[in-house]
Each structure stands twice: as structure tokens, then as C-alpha cells.
Amino acid sequence: MVHAPRRERDRQRARRAAEAARKEGASAMAVARAQIAAGFDEAAAINGFKLRVERLIRLGPEHPAIRARFGARAAMLGCRDLDAAMITVERLWRDERKAFQIASALGCATRLSLDVLIELRLILRLMRFAKMGARYESIVATLRDEPLQIAAE
């Protein structure tokens, strides 16, 4: 199987679902329903999330939208290395998820803070996977609007 770009995977999954429904002899309406269901299932939601995070990464830490979205979190993570930042974000995410569940039960929940933490978790995991520990410090400094401290020689 050839690796397809992430943005094409949803279309391929919908086509495979439609083809499988056609092979079973389903009506045109059933084929369309299978294709729509494949386009909006959990795998499509996860793929959409990953596409959103890839877009955020491509924008870079200098982009104003990235600074607005992650600047406050970067200020909290400024003195930590990548591994400690991952642990901190994981704890924050768990706490925020509990708070969101309680707020949802009361009917006054907002997902923005939770979404930012979910995106940040994935970004930090990708950075650790890519062994970007040194780059992490410069990214956090950029988000915090701090000049990089370069050692004088």
C-alpha cells in the first residue's frame, strides 16, 4: 500500500466505504450514506485534528495567531525542558478535561482552553519524537517574546 498524504486519506476512506457498499449490492442511497458516514466518522475527526495541528506547525512560532493561541501556555512552560513541559501539559489537560465535564453538566462549558491543550500535547509529542529538544527552547522564547540568550564567546 502506498502512503497517501493525510489530506487525501478521508477521501480514500469514503471511496472504499462506497465501493464496499456497492459490492454488497446496496442501493444508491445506502452507498451515499456509507460514503457520508465514512467522511464524518471518528477517523475523519482525528485526521482533521492532525491536519489542524500540522497547519499550526507550518505557521511557525512567529505567526501572530500562534502567539495568541499558545503564548500564555508558553509563558507557563518557559523554564521547563521538553520532557517537563510534556508532563505539565498532560496534567493541565487532565485538570481542564475534568473542569470541562463539570461545566458541561452545568451547561456553561467552553472548549477553547481544552482544544489549545490538546493541540499543545500533540505538538510537544511530535517535537519529542523528532528529537527537537534544543529547538523547543527557542520556540518557547519566541512565543514569550523573549530575546534568545546566546552565549558570548
Buried b (16+ CB within 10 A) or exposed e, 10-20: beebbeebbee
Q: What per-residue confidence (pLDDT) applies to 1? A: 52
Q: Note the pLDDT tens digit of each residue in 35-86.
A: 999 989 998 899 999 999 999 999 989 998 999 899 888 888 878 889 999 9
pTM of the model: 0.76
Q: What per-residue confidence (pLDDT) applies to 75? A: 87
- Residue ranges of domains in the chain: 63-143
Question: What is the rounded radius of gyration, in angstroms, for the C-alpha atoms of the chain?
Answer: 20
Q: Note the pLDDT tens digit of each residue in 84-142.
A: 999 999 999 999 999 999 999 998 888 899 999 999 999 999 999 988 888 888 888 88
